[in-house]
Amino acid sequence: MHQEIQDAFNDHLNAEFYSSYLYLSMMNYFAAENWDGMASWMQLQADEERMHAMKFVDHINERGGRVILQQIDTPKIEFGSVLEAFEDSYQHECLVTRKINELVDLAAKHSDHAAIAFLQWFVSEQVEEESTVLSIVEKLRKVGDNPMGLLMIDDQVGQRTGSETEGDAG
């Protein structure tokens, strides 16, 4: 594994751990506001992001590289509304998508076919991540501050299970 790719993968696994922290922070915001379904959704999201980070750890180790754990930044802890939290989540997923695409470009630059194959799962995963969160954002925009609409969305997102979100990245 080229050193530049190893360094970029280490940076990205830190970003995935940050994503997990961000979703844990959102989970705690929703729990404090008694949005139990949304808190549950964010907890599953946090778990999924940690699993994404571990996929990078495993890949680096399998390739004979060295994993370097870095300090994880403190995530935002207060949100003005349910909508704001999910809009932040959507913007964050768009950022992660850009980072994954940059990793694919870097792997292509170094003709690292193993890295390209590994990253392809994440490219597909990010399409799903953005679509899922954007769908929630659009529903939240439609209901606005309507308590019944918010309760329905809370119930709907609370039905998510962890089993439908994880595939095998290799």
Residue 49 marked ligand-binding: yes
Residue 126 marked ligand-binding: yes
Look up residue 163 and give its amino acid: S
- Residue 56 has a CB neighbour count (10 Å cut-off) of 24
Residue 92 marked ligand-binding: no
Residue 43 marked ligand-binding: no
Residue 52 marked ligand-binding: yes
**Which of 48, 54, 55, 57 minimizes the C-alpha distance to 27?**
48
**Which of 71, 91, 70 minimizes the C-alpha distance to 26?**
91
144/127 Cα distance (integer angstroms) = 26
Mention every residue, 6+ apart, whose C-beta is less than 8 A from residue 15.
Answer: 96, 99
Q: Residues marked as binding for Fe cation? A: 16, 49, 52, 93, 126
Q: Residues marked as binding? A: 16, 49, 52, 93, 126
